[in-house]
Structure 1
Amino acid sequence: MPEQPTSLTLTAPGIQVGLLSTGAAVTRVELTDAHGEGPVDVVLGHRDLAAYQEVRDFHGATIGRVANRIDGGRFQLGDEQVEVPLDPDEPHALHGGPDGFDQREWTLVEATEDRAAWSLTSPDGDQGFPGEVEVEVRYAVAPGLLTVEHRATTSAPTVVSLTNHSYWNLDGEGSGDVLGHTLQVDADTYLPLRADQIPTGELRDVTGTPFDLRRPVALGDAMAEDDEQLTIGQGFDHHLVVSGDGLRRHAVLVGRSGRRLEVWSDRPGVQVYAGAHFDGTVTGPRGVAYRPRAGVALETQAHPDAVNHPRFPSVVLLPGQTYTSTTQWRFS
Structure 2
Amino acid sequence: MAQIEIFGEIEGQPVHSLTLTADGGLRLTLLTYGARLMQLWAPDRAGGLADVVLGHDSLTDYQTQGGYLGATCGRFANRIAGGQFWLDGARHQLALNEGPNQLHGGPRGFDGVVWAIADHSDSHVTFTHTSPDGDMGYPGAVDLRCTYRIDGLRLTIEMTATTDAPTVVNLAHHSYFNLAGQGSGDVLGHSLQIAARHYLPVDASLIPTGAVLPVAGTAFDFTQARPIGHALPGPGGFDHCFCLSDPLVRTEGPLLRPCLTLMDLASGRRLRLSANAPGLQVYTGAHFAGTPGKAGATYGRYAGVALETQGFPDAPNQPQFPSARLDPGQTYQHLMLCDFTPA
TM class by smaller structure? over 0.9
Aligned to 1:22: 33
Of 246, 271, 287, which residue of structure 2 is paired with 1:277? 287
Aligned to 2:197: 188
Aligned to 2:149: 140
Mean alpha-carbon deviation: is it higher for 190-199 or for 162-171?
190-199
For 1:76-225, what aligned pairs fall within 5 Å after superposition? Answer: 76-87=86-97, 89-223=98-232
Of 237, 244, 259, which residue of structure 2 is paired with 1:235? 237
Alignment-mate amino acid for residue 289 of structure 2: D
2:180·2:264 contact (CA, 8 Å) conserved in 1?
A: yes
Indicate how the Cα distance of structure 1 residues 196 and 50 shifts in structure 2: closer, same or farther if over 3 A, else same: closer
Other structure's SS at 2:148 match: strand
Other structure's SS at 1:102 match: helix
Indicate how the Cα distance of structure 1 residues 210 and 34 shifts in structure 2: closer, same or farther if over 3 A, else same: closer
1:191·1:239 contact (CA, 8 Å) conserved in 2?
A: yes
For 1:50-69, what aligned pairs fall within 5 Å after superposition? Answer: 50-69=60-79
Aligned to 1:286: 295
2: distance between equivalents of 1:132 and 1:55?
Answer: 29
Question: 1:74: how far off?
Answer: 1.1
2:261·2:271 contact (CA, 8 Å) conserved in 1?
A: yes
Question: 1:184: how far off?
Answer: 0.5
Other structure's SS at 1:51 match: helix
1:260 to 2:270 alignment: yes
Other structure's SS at 1:220 match: helix
Alignment-mate amino acid for residue 294 of structure 2: P
Instruction: State TM-score, norm by structure 1.
Output: 0.94
Question: 1:134: how far off?
Answer: 0.2
Question: 1:268: how far off?
Answer: 0.2
1:14·1:34 contact (CA, 8 Å) conserved in 2?
A: no
RMSD: 1.3
Question: 1:35: how far off?
Answer: 4.2
State the aligned residue count.
322
Alignment-mate amino acid for residue 69 of structure 2: H
Question: 1:56: how far off?
Answer: 2.8
1:152·1:323 contact (CA, 8 Å) conserved in 2?
A: yes
1:330 to 2:339 alignment: yes
1:48 to 2:58 alignment: yes
1: distance between equivalents of 2:285 and 2:47?
Answer: 30
Question: 1:110: how far off?
Answer: 0.7
Aligned to 1:227: none
Alignment-mate amino acid for residue 131 of structure 1: G
Instruction: State TM-score, norm by structure 2.
Output: 0.91
Indicate how the Cα distance of structure 1 residues 182 and 271 shifts in structure 2: closer, same or farther if over 3 A, else same: same
Percentage of identical aligned residues? 47
Aligned to 2:4: none
Alignment-mate amino acid for residue 237 of structure 2: G
1:166·1:298 contact (CA, 8 Å) conserved in 2?
A: yes
2: distance between equivalents of 1:78 and 1:279?
Answer: 43
Mean alpha-carbon deviation: is it higher for 151-160 or for 252-261?
252-261
Question: 1:195: how far off?
Answer: 1.8
Of 311, 319, 327, which residue of structure 2 is paired with 1:318? 327
Alignment-mate amino acid for residue 58 of structure 1: Y
Aligned to 1:74: 84
1: distance between equivalents of 2:310 and 2:323?
Answer: 12
Question: 1:269: how far off?
Answer: 1.4
1:18·1:29 contact (CA, 8 Å) conserved in 2?
A: yes
1: distance between equivalents of 2:43 and 2:242?
Answer: 31
| CA deviations over 1:209-262 (Å, ceiling 9, x no partner) | 111100011111121xxxxxx23x711100000122340111111113221111
2:146·2:157 contact (CA, 8 Å) conserved in 1?
A: yes
Gaps of 5+ in 1: 224-229
Gaps of 5+ in 2: 1-9, 249-254
| CA deviations over 1:13-60 (Å, ceiling 9, x no partner) | 2210110000000000001346442x2000000022443234332000
1: distance between equivalents of 2:206 and 2:172?
Answer: 19
2: distance between equivalents of 1:149 and 1:196?
Answer: 30
Question: 1:284: how far off?
Answer: 1.4
